[in-house]
Amino acid sequence: MRKISQKFQVPFSYDVYFTESLFKEGNGLLADLIDAKDKSEGVKVLIAIDEGVKATHPELISNITEYIDSHTLNVEMVCPPLVMPGGEKVKNGGLHVEKLLKAINEFGLDRHAYLIGIGGGSFLDMAGFAAAIAHRGVRHIRMPTTVLAQNDAGVGVKNGINQFGKKNFVGSFSPPFAVINDASFLSTLEDRDWRSGITEAIKVALIKDKDFFYQIRKNATALLRRDGKSMASLIYHCAMLHLDHIASGDPFEKGSSRPLDFGHWSAHKLEQLTDYRLRHGEAVAIGIALDSIYSHLTGLLSVSALNEILTLFKELKFNLFVPELLPDYNTSPSANPLFQGLTEFREHLGGQLTIMLLEDIGKGVEVHDIDPEKMNRALLKLKKFEEDLTNAADK
């Protein structure tokens, strides 16, 4: 038996930009990024837009066209921007990926051409997957339009779609060519979307950065009244923590650990159990609250730290309990369908179950076992916490 051991490293790099009014005259960012200045042939660009974004920004498409015309770029927009659904439904099955692949083929995009995606996290997950597998990867520029996508999903290296009813069952690790966070998109978000993006910042603060947590608490009322400056600072800091984490850790998740998924095992399952009635960030808020209570019940987290966490969510007006968390009181706790989320979470990542808990604000700790009995107590506590608040409000 002979053996050849193959070993190599692949370098990846991309810039994440924070700007405003990207397509207004005078903003040269995109022009500089994609212009094929010294090439004889213009570079091809295909743009895909989340229909929710188009609806709230009816001027977007004409702005894009004018922008590209006015900069006299050596760029060929191969067709008018493709408008596709946004939200989780665009990720269910391969239909929209297929549509983008078709356009990439029809207009002859190559690996050096650009697929620009403008939309929320789910939309970019879908578009990013199409970009990743066409010709084994065309250049993908992400323009996230929600808080969640700008501070979390949109700045990372993952993409994917749902299949067999499982979130992100199909996907890849494919760093984007660049990410452009345009703050102008945030002003038209519904309150729910504005707020729910904040949970990922709270999450990363809780496991990594105590100061950041207290900064969010300090700014909570400003964030609630939709202060742009507070949000810009939150997004920048959260994106930076995410990017640091990716670069210093295990970018393509070869191990069994995924620290940034604190609170996510139940959140992913809850999104499915509620038929995506909850926004991802709303489900994550519940997941974080639940795993924080569980952290306390196992003796890891002090009661005062737990209260600070729950208080912050309530200051931000998050609802922390939905009936799907405790669907049936008569069966044994481990029969709760929510717990199937633990199996699916382990299965998606592989290897040993690894769940992030908290031992302090700003300090996560990984465990490899979850006690269903104790988790059930955490669920009951969470329920009571919400009920007491509601009752107090009613009085």
Report, in Å, the least distance between residue 279 CB and a copy of itself.
Answer: 23
Give 62 or 343: the residue with its C-beta nearer to a copy of itself: 343
Give 67 or 169: the residue with its C-beta nearer to a copy of itself: 169
- Cα angle for residues 292, 257, 5 (degrees, 5° grid): 175
Residue 29 found at the interface with a copy of itself (CB under 8 A): yes
Give 48 or 278: the residue with its C-beta nearer to a copy of itself: 48
Sequence-separated (6 or more) residues with CB below 8 Å from residue 53: 60, 86, 118, 119, 120, 145, 185
Residue 347 found at the interface with a copy of itself (CB under 8 A): yes
Closest to 172 measured CA to CA, from 131, 119, 123: 131
Residue with tokens 């923590």: 241
What distance lies between CA 268 and its chain's CA centroid?
12
Residue 239 found at the interface with a copy of itself (CB under 8 A): yes
CA dist., res. 42 & res. 352, Å (int): 49
**Single residue of 7, 37, 225, 395 touching a copy of itself by CB under 8 A:** 7
Q: Which two tokens stand for residue 133?
A: 């597998």
Tell me if 297 sits within 8 A of 373, measured CB to CB.
Answer: no
**Single residue of 164, 332, 369, 393 touching a copy of itself by CB under 8 A:** 164
Report, in Å, the least distance between residue 370 CB and a copy of itself.
Answer: 16
Which helix (H) or strand (E) segment is 244 a member of? helix 228-248
What is the bridge-based pairing of β-strands 43-50 and 75-77?
A: parallel
Which DSSP string corresponds to 65-118? HHHHHHTT-SEEE-SSPEEE--SGGGGBSSHHHHHHHHHHHHTT--TTSEEEEE
Q: Which two tokens stand for residue 114?
A: 């650009």
Sequence-separated (6 or more) residues with CB below 8 Å from residue 279: 148, 192, 193, 196
Closest to 223 measured CA to CA, from 318, 154, 143, 335: 318
What is the bridge-based pairing of β-strands 178-182 and 139-144?
A: parallel
Residue range at the interface with a copy of itself (CB under 8 A); choices 79-87, 116-124, 240-248, 265-273: 240-248
What distance lies between CA 274 and its chain's CA centroid?
19
Residue numbers 241-270 binding a copy of itself by CB under 8 A: 243, 246-248, 251-254, 256
**Single residue of 349, 365, 367, 380 touching a copy of itself by CB under 8 A:** 349
Residue 240 found at the interface with a copy of itself (CB under 8 A): yes
**Single residue of 57, 140, 142, 158 touching a copy of itself by CB under 8 A:** 158
What distance lies between CA 277 and its chain's CA centroid?
17
Give 17 or 214: the residue with its C-beta nearer to a copy of itself: 17
Q: Which two tokens stand for residue 214?
A: 């207290």
Give 3 or 225: the residue with its C-beta nearer to a copy of itself: 3
Residue 17 found at the interface with a copy of itself (CB under 8 A): yes
Report, in Å, the least distance between residue 290 CB and a copy of itself.
Answer: 23
Number of residues that bind a copy of itself (CB under 8 A): 68
Report, in Å, the least distance between residue 172 CB and a copy of itself.
Answer: 6
Residue 13 found at the interface with a copy of itself (CB under 8 A): yes
Residue 170 found at the interface with a copy of itself (CB under 8 A): yes
Sequence-separated (6 or more) residues with CB below 8 Å from residue 39: 74
Residue 372 found at the interface with a copy of itself (CB under 8 A): no
Residue 342 found at the interface with a copy of itself (CB under 8 A): no
Give 48 or 379: the residue with its C-beta nearer to a copy of itself: 48
**Single residue of 71, 210, 348, 374 touching a copy of itself by CB under 8 A:** 348
280-297 vs 198-208: helix crossing angle, rounded to 10 = 30
Give 181 or 376: the residue with its C-beta nearer to a copy of itself: 181
Report, in Å, the least distance between residue 128 CB and a copy of itself.
Answer: 12
Residue numbers 101-140 binding a copy of itself by CB under 8 A: 101-102, 105, 108, 110-113, 132-138
What distance lies between CA 145 and its chain's CA centroid?
11
**Single residue of 61, 219, 236, 319 touching a copy of itself by CB under 8 A:** 236
Report, in Å, the least distance between residue 323 CB and a copy of itself.
Answer: 28
With H, G, I as helix, E, B as strand and everything else as coil, classify residue 44: strand
Interaction site with a copy of itself (CB under 8 A): 1-19, 29, 94, 101-102, 105, 108, 110-113, 132-138, 155, 158, 160, 163-164, 166, 168-175, 236, 239-240, 243, 246-248, 251-254, 256, 346-351
